[in-house]
Amino acid sequence: MAINSDGNIYGIFWEIYDAADQLITRYEQTYPEKMTLDQIQLIKVEYDKLIESDFNNIQFGFYTKCTSTFCNNLGIFMSWFPKTKESLEEFFLNGTIPI
């Protein structure tokens, strides 16, 4: 039993927290279709604005289309998958990563 991605990325988010784990800021961008290279580069522009201290307590996620083997009634749905900074940077370079 599992939740399976279609392998495409439809959006990105990151959340930056302070030392007390209080949310400071959230960036989110989603698209109705698989992200294009131009859309990926627009998000990279925002990512490049982050400063070193932002990376002290940050979380990243990728938005993808899913199906579930837990319950056949769910059909296809969208969900966020947590990923690492390294995964996001690989995505910026290659335009794709395994989900």
Contact 48, 73 (CB under 8 A): no
Q: Of 64, 45, 48, 51, give the one whose Cα is nearest residue 24.
A: 51
Contact 60, 82 (CB under 8 A): yes
pLDDT digits (tens, 9 = 90+) for 58-98: 999 999 999 887 766 678 899 999 999 999 999 999 999 98
pLDDT digits (tens, 9 = 90+) for 17-58: 999 999 999 999 999 999 999 999 999 999 999 999 999 999
pTM, two decimals, is: 0.88
Eight-class DSSP state of 40: H
Tokens 């925002």 correspond to 46
For residue 76, give the 3-state DSSP assignment. Answer: coil
Eight-class DSSP state of 48: T
Contact 5, 99 (CB under 8 A): yes
